[in-house]
Amino acid sequence: MLRQVLLWASENAWMERQMRRRAFARRAVSRFMPGETADAALGAARGLAGHGISTVFTKLGEALEDRDEIERVVQHYLRLLERIAAARLPSQISIKLTQLGQDLGPEVAQANLERLAAAAAAQGDVLWVDMEASPYVDETLDIFTATLARYPDLGLCVQAYLYRTAADVERLLSLGARLRLVKGAYQEPADIAWPRKPDVDENFMVLTRLMLEDANPGAPHGIATHDTVLLARILEEARETGLPEDAFEVQMLYGIRTREQLALTRRGIPVRVLISYGPHWYPWYMRRLAERPANLGFVVRSVFTR
């Protein structure tokens, strides 16, 4: 129930206005993002790189329809790729197709995605495509697979809570796609997505097994979870299967499970941390709370501390 409330709040304009006015909200958000600028994100990435942890950047924002604003996003990411290369950081970028004009038409988003994919490929980097709410899934898959044919170092996020994802994963793996598996963070109806966490967890394991069968240390898939119980199951199955420690990446969010990230790195397991930044943090932050409602305790404590 709490998860449903938080997901509802993530789409509520009145709630967003209230949160943006509150100093405690910005303090709470700062735990999960180093700042609103690319400079802040790059600084955090340099610190993590010092501990052997790789990163992936995403500039917050979605559902853009203004062509000038879309072009500014594309230019921002092109400059960011140059800065990553200049700093020699083990970093990648992850984009939303609705930031690239998907709501104006798939051809707009695909053209912009190809611009970024070409720039990333020229630097030997992987470019990730995020998956958004269910109405976008089919079109996102079409745009991704069309672009993948030209740029093989392209990765896609897939969501474990959707019933359809197992079939999607099998098809994507057959095409040689690199995948990042998450549980899913949008408000979806029960006829297309598992509403209960135990069912999502079990499907997460099913999908992970498919990805482990396709494991390639040279182009590792990402297993994105902060669920330490689930992660322990995955690592044990990988060990029993005889996979090397670097056969896949464990991916987590900035500011969550930091000690576990360091412990995994010391074991030789690759860890990549998603660093989000930008002023459009409200819907993203509420969805992160919905993924792990225990984080609400941190927000409550922030109300009473400076």
Encode 242-264: b = buried (16+ Cβ within 10 Å), e = exposed.
Answer: ebeeebbbbbbbbbbbeeebeeb
- Nearest CA-CA partner of 93 in 54, 43, 67, 147: 54
Q: Are 80 and 114 in contact (CB under 8 A)?
A: no
- Residue 112 to residue 65: CA distance in whole angstroms: 13
Beta strands in the chain (DSSP E): 54-59, 91-95, 127-129, 154-159, 178-182, 222-224, 249-253, 271-277
Bridge partners for 132 per DSSP: none
CA 252 to chain centre: 8
Is 130 labeled as catalytic in the residue annotation? Answer: yes
Q: Among 125, 130, 201, 214, which one carries the catalytic annotation?
A: 130
180 is catalytic: yes
Out of 125, 168, 180, 272, the active site residue is 180
Which are the catalytic amino acids?
130, 180
